[in-house]
Amino acid sequence: MSSRRCRSGALLGLALALAADGCSQPRREPGAALARERLVSLPSSIAHVSSARSSAGLSADIRFGGPLGRSALYLKFPGEWRTQGIPVQAFLTLSPREASPSSDVPLTLEAWRISADWRPQALQHWSDKPSLAPPYARVKVTSSPIREVRIDVTELVLFAARNPERDFGIAVIASGNEGPGESFSTGLAGGRAPRLELYLR
């Protein structure tokens, strides 16, 4: 079996997080033993909407919970990974927004498969959001201050691998809670964008 390695950022047009993502010393996962390749991809499309207010374009942070009520983050990633191998494990990583207020109240995030095509500029209101479908994954955020959140989205990526014509991306949703909520970076203004980490064989 060939050794795992991160691809060059120019390969196949994938936006790869290299040294900044710890590419030289990736965290070992149970599925990594079966993988020959590790790719980290940045979204080609991103949008954020909440039930409490209309969207005026993408800001530097994504806020879940707190007074915004229900919130949803929509992500679409390049599909060139399909030519590199078969996914055995996948994670969606959200990085906290620096110096943002945080809450001690646990926050539950869910990652769902987006089941219809969408465009970021068309998502202005909560009612504009595309429909979602299983499979889905769930993680509870309990640390304060907030740390990097990693969601196991292996089942979603396996579905996308088997059904490329139905791959419209991943949505992360959360309900409101007490306190200020939690903020994650969109990648604007120097922050780190959400990223999809793929282990392929």
Q: What is the pLDDT of residues 87-128, one digit of tens each?
A: 999 999 999 877 665 666 778 899 999 999 999 988 888 888
How many domains is the chain built from?
A: 1
Answer yes or no: is 201 within a domain: no
Question: Does a structural domain hold residue 12?
Answer: no
Task: Round to whole Å and give the CA distance between 4 and 21.
Answer: 15
Q: Is 150 exposed, middle or buried (0-12, 13-18, 19+ CB in 10 A)?
A: middle
**Residue 53 within any structural domain of the chain:** yes
Answer whether residue 114 is part of any domain.
Answer: yes
Burial class (CB in 10 A: 0-12, 13-18, 19+), 32: middle
pLDDT of residue 18: 34
Tell me, yes or no, whether 27 lies in a domain: no
Question: What domain range is 181 assigned to?
Answer: 42-196
In the predicted model, what is the mean pLDDT of residues 166-173?
96
Residue 165 lies in a domain: yes
The answer as to whether 7 is a domain residue is no
Q: How many CA atoms lie within 13 A of 171 on its CB side?
A: 25
Is pLDDT at 166 greater than 70 in this prediction?
yes
16 domain residue, yes or no: no
